[in-house]
Amino acid sequence: LLKWLVIAIKLIVIPSNIYQIIKFQVLVNVLVVGSGGREHSIGWKLGQSNNVNTVFYAPGNGGTLNNVQISVDDLDGLANFASENNCFTVVGPEAPLAMGIVDMFNEMGLKIFGPTKEAAQLESSKIWAKQFLKRNNISTTSFEVFDDAVKAKEYVNQIEYNVVVKADGLAAGKGVIVCDSKDEAEKSIDMMLVDKKFGDAGNNIIIEERIDGIEASYIALSDGKIAIPMATSQDHKRIFDNDKGPNTGGMGAYSPTPIIDKDLSQKIQEKIIDKTISSLRNEGITFKGFLYAGIMLKDGEPYVLEYNVRMGDPECQPILMRMDSDLFQYLVGSVDGTLEKMPPISWKNKSAVCIVLASKGYPESYPMEDEIFGLGKAFDDAYIFHAGTKEQDKKIITNGGRVFAVTALGDTLESAIKHAYGATEKISWKNKYLRTDIGKKGLTYL
């Protein structure tokens, strides 16, 4: 009887195991960590893959389905969910990467896309990144490091050029102050080192030479051995039109940018991206994930202003809207170290423009919980990625500074701008704010 029982169990269990293995290989669940427009667009694109079953978002927003209420810094909660639901995890924002989510998941045998804590230092410590650039002869501006406000101010008053003051740690895109005068530099130093506006993230600061040129974003996908370029893009970091006012996380972006032509793209790829990946390897660090170089172009030469170790937000939205290839396959290629076997990513021969709709007052304080109208309208030419929204009593209300990332394709940059702005007009709430010149600087270079 026992023998027959064992055979019966094998007949039931073995096929179901095989089914699980096949299912995992061909159809997996994805957990997108984050709640912004970038994460909505990553999930939207991954959901189009034939290999992806359900896309979960932690914690997601008012526009994403399958939200799980786990915050991005609850690494145990995220790992438990990913493990219980057989998820391939994709990390959107930098904070969990800097906390070591990838190291933790790797130790637990869970599949996760993104760099380790050590590799994430490229973004989590601006000082570490600058010193890395310097010792590896990767083009960047000159800089000094300070933890003392008096010495920092003395230095600023000795030098002749204008400076950029940067908090060492993560400050949600706000810890970089581009100064127009010595007075502004002194105020920025006090704000970080004395008033502690960014808390411990501003215990140490960098004072770097300000160079004025054209800024663009160059993002590549790496598996630690090679890096393949994503489409080029340009962000609009300042809050007001014509690049005035304080820095934000980004008020709009478009892709591709004519500012980075084929030759320049090759130069950035070789001299900055490939060199970064190989220099990291030489230092014993394998970088897997999106490597984002914030570039300043001056007299045709690219300088690294900063690194990010994840997709840009909002650059991600227009880039992914133009991506024809299956994003999931490439993210798996990064994790498995097999990118060299994959074909180049294919892109739609179109332009995409993303306009951020924000709440008035962002990037400082802004009202929340305004009711949003117009989302039920037809958006034929555009996709409305949600960011700071949430659903409450069957209504969508504002829940953050950047509320939507309205993204549209067009045959030309001009038509993509027109489609995207057309769509922004359909959405309204009491404190809606947007820049009116997104993409315009791209037109001047065509």
- Binding residues (CB under 6 A) for ligand GLY: these are 173, 235, 249-250, 308, 312-313, 315
Q: Do the beta carbons of residue 420 and residue 236 sit within 8 Å? A: no
Task: Report residue 3 as tokens.
Answer: 């023998």
Q: Choose between 156 and 434: whose C-beta lies nearer to ligand GLY.
A: 434
Q: Choose between 43 and 87: whose C-beta lies nearer to ligand GLY.
A: 43
How distant is the alpha carbon of residue 318 from its chain centre? 12
Element (DSSP H or E) covering residue 78:
helix 75-84
**Strand residue runs (E) in 174-251:** 176-178, 205-209, 214-223, 227-229, 234-235, 238-240, 244-247
Closest CB 357 distance from ligand GLY, rounded Å: 15
**Angstrom distance (rounded) from CA 271 to CA 113:** 25
Interior angle at CA 16, CA 13 and CA 22, nearest 5:
140
Closest CB 94 distance from ligand GLY, rounded Å: 8
- Which phi and psi (to 5°) does residue 230 adopt? -90, 175
**Angstrom distance (rounded) from CA 63 to CA 384:** 9
**Angstrom distance (rounded) from CA 151 to CA 253:** 38
Residues 6 or more apart whose Cβ sits within 8 Å of residue 120: 94, 97, 98, 102, 114, 309
Closest CB 402 distance from ligand GLY, rounded Å: 10
**Strand residue runs (E) in 213-251:** 214-223, 227-229, 234-235, 238-240, 244-247
Q: Choose between 315 and 370: whose C-beta lies nearer to ligand GLY.
A: 315
Closest CB 319 distance from ligand GLY, rounded Å: 11
Q: At what angle do helices 327-336 and 37-46 cross, to 10 degrees?
A: 100
Residues 6 or more apart whose Cβ sits within 8 Å of residue 47: 30, 55
Q: Choose between 49 and 233: whose C-beta lies nearer to ligand GLY.
A: 233
Q: Choose between 103 and 313: whose C-beta lies nearer to ligand GLY.
A: 313
Report which of 438, 369, 430, 431 is spatially closest to residue 407, judged by C-alpha positions: 438
Instruction: Say what the alpha-carbon torsion angle 254, 40, 37, 73 is, to the nearest 10 degrees.
Output: -130
Q: Choose between 288 and 402: whose C-beta lies nearer to ligand GLY.
A: 402
Closest CB 140 distance from ligand GLY, rounded Å: 17
Q: Choose between 118 and 313: whose C-beta lies nearer to ligand GLY.
A: 313
Burial of 76 (0-12, 13-18, 19+ CB in 10 A): exposed
Closest CB 310 distance from ligand GLY, rounded Å: 8
**Angstrom distance (rounded) from CA 400 to CA 317:** 18
Closest CB 242 distance from ligand GLY, rounded Å: 18
Q: Choose between 81 and 362: whose C-beta lies nearer to ligand GLY.
A: 362
Closest CB 124 distance from ligand GLY, rounded Å: 13
Q: Choose between 168 and 315: whose C-beta lies nearer to ligand GLY.
A: 315
| Residue found by looking up tokens 């409305």 in the block | 384
- Residue count of the chain, please give it: 446
Q: Choose between 111 and 402: whose C-beta lies nearer to ligand GLY.
A: 402
Closest CB 439 distance from ligand GLY, rounded Å: 15
Q: Which residue is nearest to ligand GLY (CB)?
A: 250
Closest CB 9 distance from ligand GLY, rounded Å: 53
